[in-house]
Amino acid sequence: MATPLHFLGISGSLRKASVNSAALRALTPLLPAHITLEIADLSDIPLYNDDVRAAGHPAAVDALRAQIAKADAVVFASPEYNFSVSGVLKNALDWASRPPNQPFDGKPVAIMGASPGPVGTGRSQYDLRKMLVFLNAFPINKPEVMIGLAPQKFSADGTLTDEPTRDFLRQMLTALEAWTLKLKA
C-alpha cells in the first residue's frame, strides 16, 4: 500500500489567468490517489515589514506557514520577472522563512514554471534554488520543468492541453514522491 502524502502548491503569480497557477491546478488530475495537493493563496500576504513581524505574523502569513509545515512536500510554480522570481513569491518566502520554526527546513521541493517565452522560467528557477539553499529545503534536481510557450499549451480556461507537458509533470510528481519518501526514511 502506498504511503499517503500531502503536497502544497505555491504559485508566484496572483493573476487570475496565470499559466503558473494553471500549471499547479494541472497537477491534481495527474496525482495518484494516495497524494493530495492543496494550493496556497498568497493574495492576502502584505509586503514584508519587520516592524509588523515583530508585533506578530499577519493571519495570512500564519496560514501559509502552517500549510508549509503540514505539507510533506512543496511544489513551486514560479513565473519569471526581470530574469528572476516574482516579487509575490520572494515576499511570501521572506515572510514564511522568519523565525520561529522556519517551515521550509528539510522540506522536499519541486520547482516548475510556465512562461510565454521559449526559456520557460529557467533563470527564475535558478534564483529560487539559491533561496531554497538558504532555507535548507531540498529540491529535486530532475526533471527541471520549464514550460516555454505556455499560452499555446493551455486553453483559455487554464486547462493544460499539451500531452508532452502533462507527461513531464507526471515525471516531476513521481520524482517528488520518491524524494519525499527517501527524506522521510
Given this model, what pLDDT does residue 1 score?
83
pLDDT band at 79 (very low <50, low <70, confident <90, very high): very high
Per-residue pLDDT of 53-69, as tens digits, reads: 999 999 999 999 999 99
Given this model, what pLDDT does residue 119 score?
86
The rounded distance, in Å, linking the Cα atoms of 166 and 27 is 8
pTM of the predicted model over 0.75: yes
What are the b/e assignments for 85-109, b being 16+ CB within 10 Å? Answer: bbebbbbbbbbbbbeeebbbeebbb
Name which CATH class applies to 5-184.
alpha beta
The rounded distance, in Å, linking the Cα atoms of 68 and 101 is 11
Given this model, what pLDDT does residue 121 score?
94
Please give the average per-residue pLDDT across 103-122, as a whole number.
95
Strands (E), 12-127: 35-39, 73-77, 108-114
